[in-house]
Amino acid sequence: MDLKAYQAQALLTDKVPRTSEDEAATALIVPMLGLAGETGQLLSEYKKHLRDGAAHRLFKDRVGEELGDLLWYIANVASKFGLDLDQIAEKNLDKVRARFAPSSAQAPQRDSEFPDLERLPRQMIVRLAEEHETGPRPKVRMTINGEGIGSLLGDNAYDPDGYRFHDVFHLAYAAVLGWSPNLRAFLKRKRKSRPLLDEVEDGGRARIIEEGVSALAFDYARVHSFLDGVSEIDYGLLRTIQSMTSHLEVGGASAADWERAILEGFAVWRQVLTNNGGEISVDLDARTISYLGAL
């Protein structure tokens, strides 16, 4: 039986139909309470299984029965909101595939049709070195393939927290997502041969959004041990990042892509922080970023 047919037949056994606007609230709250109640029953059966073990011989039958009841209430709620259970199932599969499906082996080439001077290098050796002559606290200078890049960076915080090394995150976005308007600006690889694309994708607004993503991820990581030992990132954070970047060329990146970029970026960032700098390999073809060692 397909979900559409099940939903239609389940509705025939609805004892609290929505027959008027006055009855709408009751018609909705009953199946929602049913979902909560049947979830409790399912947990109760599992409790008995934990307590009684093999003696609870009807465990699988009871689980199947409770899941069936849950399915009825789900179908009923969907019907009363005018939703199609088949479409709900399809959208859910799309969502979980995007969340957990493995990424392709190579970072997207978003500039392959542009002149060489407007393309991100596919391989980079990056050095992050602290300099202590500029003030009471160290600042970081970045060089890429031997060329000095950008300005000296400090933590910009009262308490040193390592944000001075946050260019690692831009490198990770480039490696995994093939995207970093800030790195393009640092390397003078903006795609100026297409003025509108250059304005939208490589301009100031896109750069601010990327910095916002980095700051948002950093704040999340700060209260989660800077992602040390963490293998999954909160889906709500990933959805927020996807929403922030949805109008840009990176808008097609999946939650799994963003998760990988953030986790791998922080893995390198923690090593850089521990060693007060170091050398990093970035390979867009292999879709990797790795710490090579201290300077």
- Domain end, chosen from 75, 100, 125, is at 100
- Please give the model's pTM, rounded to 2 decimal places: 0.82
Task: Answer yes or no: do 44 and 170 share one domain.
Answer: no
Instruction: Decide if 106 is inside a domain.
Output: no
Instruction: Using a pLDDT cut of 70, give the percent of the chain over it.
Output: 97
Of the pLDDT bands very low, low, confident and very high (cuts 50, 70, 90), residue 27 is confident
Query: pLDDT higher for 104 or 179?
Result: 179
Burial of 39 (0-12, 13-18, 19+ CB in 10 A): middle
- Domain end, chosen from 50, 76, 100, is at 100
Instruction: Decide if 111 is inside a domain.
Output: no
Task: Answer yes or no: do 268 and 127 share one domain.
Answer: yes
Instruction: Decide if 245 is inside a domain.
Output: yes
Determine the distance from the C-alpha atom of residue 61 to the mean position of all C-alpha atoms in its chain, rounded to a whole number: 38
- Mean pLDDT over 160-170 rounds to 96
Q: Which domain covers residue 73, as residue numbers?
A: 3-100
Task: Answer yes or no: do 178 and 231 share one domain.
Answer: yes
Task: Answer yes or no: do 269 and 143 share one domain.
Answer: yes
- Mean pLDDT over 223-235 rounds to 96
Mean pLDDT, the chain, rounded, equals 92
Burial track 168-183 (b if 16+ CB lie within 10 A, e otherwise): bbbbbbbbbbbbbbbb
Answer whether residue 17 shows pLDDT above 90: no
Answer whether residue 102 shows pLDDT above 70: no
Task: Answer yes or no: do 64 and 154 share one domain.
Answer: no
Task: Answer yes or no: do 20 and 64 share one domain.
Answer: yes
- Mean pLDDT over 17-21 rounds to 70
Q: Give dist(CA 224, CA 227) in Å, integer.
A: 6
Answer whether residue 120 shows pLDDT above 70: yes
Supply the pLDDT for residue 229: 96
- Domain end, chosen from 44, 70, 100, is at 100
Phi, psi of 72, rounded to the nearest 5 degrees: -60, -45
Supply the pLDDT for residue 98: 80
Q: Give dist(CA 198, CA 196) in Å, integer.
A: 5
Answer whether 287's CB lies under 8 Å from 108's CB.
no
Query: What's the domain count of the chain?
Result: 2
Ranges 130-144, 157-171, 180-194: which has the least confidence: 130-144
- Mean pLDDT over 288-294 rounds to 97
Instruction: Decide if 110 is inside a domain.
Output: no
Instruction: Decide if 107 is inside a domain.
Output: no
Answer whether 162's CB lies under 8 Å from 269's CB.
yes
Strand arrangement of the beta sheet that strand 123-131 belongs to: 147-153, 139-144, 123-131, 277-283, 288-293
Task: Answer yes or no: do 68 and 120 share one domain.
Answer: no
pLDDT tens, 32-89? 999 999 999 999 999 988 988 877 778 899 999 999 999 999 999 999 999 999 999 9
Answer whether residue 19 shows pLDDT above 80: no
Of the pLDDT bands very low, low, confident and very high (cuts 50, 70, 90), residue 21 is low
CATH number, domain with residue 47: 1.10.287.1080
